[in-house]
Amino acid sequence: MTLKKIVKQVGALGVACGMALGAMSAQAEDTIKVGVLHSLSGTMAISETTLKDTMLMLIEEQNKKGGLLGKQLEPVVVDPASNWPLFAERTRELLEQHGVDAIFGCWTSVSRKSVLPVVEELNGILFYPVQYEGEESSRNVFYTGAAPNQQAIPAVDYLKDELGIERWVLAGTDYVYPRTTNRILEAYLKANGVAEEDIMINYTPFGHADWQNIVAEIKRFGSAGKKTAVVSTINGDANVPFYRELGNQGVSAEDIPVVAFSVGEEELSGIDTAPLVGHMAAWNYFMSEETPENEAFIKAWHDYIGDTKRVTNDPMEAHYIGFNMWVKAVEAAGTTDTDKVIDAMVGVEVPNLTGGTSTMLPNHHITKPVLIGEIQDDGQFLTVSSTEELVPGDAWSDYLEGSKDLISDWTAPISCGNYNTQTKSCVGTTAE
Partner 1 sequence: MIPICRLTPRHAVQQWLTRLLLLCLCSLPLHTSAQEAPEATPAQPTFDELVRQLPSGNLRQRATTVEQLASQQDERLADILAALIVGDLLANKDKPPVVAIRNGDTLTDALNGSDLTGTSGLRRIPVNNSLRTQLRGMVAQLNLSHPDSDKRYAAVQRFIRDGVDGETAALLRQHQPSEESGRVNDAIDAALALFDLQTGDRDQRMAAIDTLSGSLEQEARNALRSVAENDEDATLRAAGAKAIESIQGRISFYRFIENVFFGLSLGSILLLAAIGLAITFGVMGVINMAHGELIMIGAYTTWGIQVLFPDLIEWSLLIAIPAAFLITALVGIAIERGVIRFLYGRPLETLLATFGLSLVLQQAVRTLFSPLNRSVSSPEWISGTLSINPVLSITYTRLYILLFGLAVFFALMLVMKRTSLGLKVRAVSQNRAMARAVGVRSNWIDALTFGLGSGIAGVAGVALSQITNVGPNLGQAYIIDSFMVVVFGGVGNLWGTLVSAMSLGLINNFLEPWAGAMLAKVLVLIMLILFIQKKPKGLFPQKGRAAAD
Question: Site size for partner 1, by CB under 8 A?
Answer: 53
Q: Based on CB atoms, which residue is closest to partner 1, 196 or 401?
A: 196
Q: Minimum distance between the CB of residue 184 and partner 1, rounded to whole angstroms?
A: 21
Name which position in 54, 149, 182, 204 contacts partner 1 (CB under 8 A). 204
Q: Which of residues 111-170 bind partner 1 (CB under 8 A)?
A: 162-163
Beta carbon of residue 303, minimum distance to partner 1 (angstroms, whole number): 18
- Residue 352 binds to partner 1 (criterion: CB under 8 A): no
Provide the minimum distance between the beta carbon of 237 and partner 1 in the complex, in angstroms, as a whole number. 5
Could you tell me if 32 and 71 are in contact, meaning their C-beta atoms sit under 8 angstroms apart? Answer: yes
Cis upstream peptide for 413 (omega within 30°): yes
Distances (CA, A) of 23 to 30, 63, 94, 316: 11, 22, 21, 36
**CA dist 306 → 52, 61, 352 (Å):** 15, 15, 24
Please, what is the minimum distance in Å from the beta carbon of residue 268 to partner 1? 9
Answer yes or no whether residue 386 interacts with partner 1 by CB under 8 A: no
CA dist 366 and 360 (Å) reads: 5
The one-letter amino acid code at 224 reads: A
Question: For partner 1, which stretch binds (CB under 8 A), given 105-113, 205-213, 351-359, 410-418?
Answer: 205-213
Residue 40 binds partner 1, judged by CB under 8 A: yes
Please state whether 313 falls in left (phi above 0), alpha (psi between -120 and 50) or beta: beta
- For residues 378 and 351, the answer to whether their CB atoms sit within 8 Å is no
**With contact defined as beta carbons under 8 Å apart, do 322 and 285 qualify?**
no
Of 116 and 311, the one with the shorter C-beta distance to partner 1 is 311
Is residue 387 a contact residue for partner 1 (CB under 8 A)?
Answer: no
Q: Which of residues 213-252 bind partner 1 (CB under 8 A)?
A: 213-214, 216-217, 223-225, 237, 240-241, 244-245, 247-250
Does residue number 335 form part of the binding site for partner 1 (CB under 8 A)? no
Determine, following the binding rule CB under 8 A, whether residue 176 of this chain makes contact with partner 1. no
Verify binding: residue 179, partner 1, rule CB under 8 A.
no
Does the protein bind partner 1 through residue 377 (CB under 8 A)?
yes
Least distance (Å) between residue 381 CB and partner 1 = 10
C-beta closer to partner 1: residue 70 or 225: 225
DSSP string, 194-249: --GGGEEEEEE-TT----HHHHHHHHHHTTSSS-EEEEEE--GGGHHHHHHHHHHT
376 strand-pairing partners: none
Beta-strand pair 199-204/258-260 = unpaired
Task: Count CA within 13 A, CB hemisphere, residue 417.
Answer: 18
The answer to whether residue 45 forms part of the interface with partner 1 (CB under 8 A) is yes
- As a whole number of angstroms, the distance between CA 372 and CA 274 comes to 19
What is the Cα–Cα distance from 94 to 254, expressed in whole angstroms? 49
Exposed/middle/buried for 66, CB within 10 Å: 0-12, 13-18, 19+? exposed
Interaction between residue 264 and partner 1 (CB under 8 A): no
309 versus 424: smaller Cβ distance to partner 1? 309
Regarding 76 and contact with partner 1 (CB under 8 A), the answer is: no
Based on the shown chain and the rule CB under 8 A, indicate whether residue 172 belongs to the binding site for partner 1.
Answer: no
Residue 211 amino acid letter: W
**Under rule CB under 8 A, residue 198 binds partner 1:** no
- Site residues (vs partner 1, CB under 8 A): 40-41, 43, 45-46, 49-50, 162-163, 174, 202-205, 207-210, 212-214, 216-217, 223-225, 237, 240-241, 244-245, 247-250, 253-255, 257, 266, 269-272, 275, 277-278, 374, 376-378, 382, 384
